[in-house]
Amino acid sequence: MANFPAAIIIGASKVTSQQKVFNSFGINGFRQIRSQPNHRWTFTLNVSVKNLSVWRDSFGYMSALESGVNKVTIVHPGYTSILGAATGTITVNGATQTGQTINLSGFAISTTDVFKRGDIIQFANDSKVYMVSAGVSSDGSGNASVALIPKLRKSPADASNVNIAAVEFTMSQTKNATVNMTAPVIGKIDTISLIEELF
């Protein structure tokens, strides 16, 4: 696994929250909805490079990912920091937590919007990236209950650290890298499609 090359310039991008949902209708006409616990984020990145040398190196890197065989870690430029006021070391507060919310500690006491809706976080020893689904305020002890998208896929260890800054997505390609040469010294990789890998 390798880091996404800094020389590749990410422009416009699309981020998708991908959740498989099954819909069916009963005899009574009511719709039933069931979701599978396999949520993933996907990126479609419009990218470019500065010159031919960088293009060749970058395209070589993307080709080495072998259309999903190998993984890449990337900090999406839209998520380099959180919108909320949380700083410092945030930790998991309690063992064997499951479901759609998690208790955390280490926030400034009695603070509004330590996390804002749309912030992303990541737990130690878990490649999955979670999104905060509602604004969060801390209590008088610096603790808070945080609603997440999706629900926890595994229980984080008590007192383990929570990553809130420059969270790295672990991803793989969903299709071959393609290149459009627009000038003798300028290369452009039109789009790169990535999907979150879980392990």
Taking 50 as the pLDDT cut, the residues of the chain under it are 184-185
Contact status, residue 47 vs residue 75, Cβ threshold 8 Å: no
User: Are 159 and 191 in the same domain?
Assistant: no
The total number of structural domains in the chain stands at 2
Query: How much is the pLDDT for 2?
Result: 73
User: Are 67 and 102 in the same domain?
Assistant: no
Query: How much is the pLDDT for 27?
Result: 83
Query: How much is the pLDDT for 157?
Result: 96
Which residues are CB-neighbours of 50 under 8 A, at least 6 positions away? Answer: 7, 9, 186
CATH code (residue 72): 3.30.200
Q: Which residues pair with 22 in a beta bridge?
A: 34
Smallest CA-to-CA distance from 6 within 116, 68, 80, 105 is with 80
User: Are 68 and 56 in the same domain?
Assistant: yes
User: Are 111 and 146 in the same domain?
Assistant: yes
Query: How much is the pLDDT for 1?
Result: 65
Q: pLDDT per residue over 68-124, tens digit each? A: 788 989 999 899 999 999 999 999 999 999 999 999 999 999 999 999 999 999 999
Residue-number span of the structural domain to which 159 is assigned: 81-165
Query: How much is the pLDDT for 184?
Result: 43
User: Are 94 and 64 in the same domain?
Assistant: no
Count of alpha carbons within 13 angstroms of residue 126, beta-carbon side: 17
User: Are 90 and 107 in the same domain?
Assistant: yes
User: Are 55 and 99 in the same domain?
Assistant: no
User: Are 88 and 35 in the same domain?
Assistant: no
CATH code (residue 123): 2.40.30.290
User: Are 106 and 157 in the same domain?
Assistant: yes
